[in-house]
Amino acid sequence: MTTQFLGGTAALTGRSLRHITRSPDTIITTTIMPIAFLLLFVYVFGGAINTGSDSYVNYLLPGILLITIASGISYTAFRLFLDMKSGIFERFQSLPIARSSVLWAHVLTSLVANLISVVVVVLVALLIGFHSGAGVLADSVALTGDASRVITIADENAAQFGVRFTGADPSDRVPEARAELAGLAAAGQLSVPIWRTYPLARAALAHADLEAGRNHGKIILRP
């Protein structure tokens, strides 16, 4: 029974995925349209909405992702309806497969399709300026998998992430950590992304870019 279930689910999932790749309207509705909405609201209507110092795309992306997922789910329901209307369910029941395999195939197809659509939309959002509100510390903890391996000398909210803050008291520095970082940098295993370099005379513009969250790395001021 387990073999029939797994084999049938895999075969029917492949069938549903092939239906998606052969259906341009599905791809347009579930992937292209959310991207079009994202670009439209950011570059056409975004300037009419005051979001303070934050980038408008940071507020817009969650709604676009909900639209993307809802579109994918609606197409899953539509394909399920077509299968039931065409009578193919009855044909599947005459085959040596588990009855639940048909439903599980549609569920797995929906998960895969929605995951691909969401990833594509998020990548486009990153290209036009989206950045996570969690900040660098949360990303660093997620990457290392251990908050004890992350140390900051600038973020006073480090305790929220379980990260050690060493910027308040000079006696609380960790020389061995600095030496390790210097060694990693010298070996080329540690790099600091630099987004843009400004002359000191344009410090106000650099500060505006930083406050708006446009930067994707460090901003450098040069005299």
pTM over 0.95: no
Residue 128 pLDDT exceeds 80: yes
DSSP string, the chain: -HHHHHHHHHHHHHHHHHHHHT-HHHHIIIIIHHHHHHHHHHHTSGGGS--TTS-HHHHHHHHHHHHHHHHHHHHHHHHHHHHHHHTHHHHHHTSSS-THHHHHHHHHHHHHHHHHHHHHHHHHHHHTT---TTHHHHHHHHHHS-GGG-EESS-TTGGGGTPEE-SS-GGG--HHHHHHHHHHHHTTS----EEEEEEGGGHHHHHHHHHHT--SSEEEEE-
Each residue's pLDDT tens digit, 47-95? 666 655 567 787 788 889 999 999 888 888 888 888 788 887 777 777 7
pLDDT digits (tens, 9 = 90+) for 21-49: 888 888 888 889 999 998 888 888 766 66
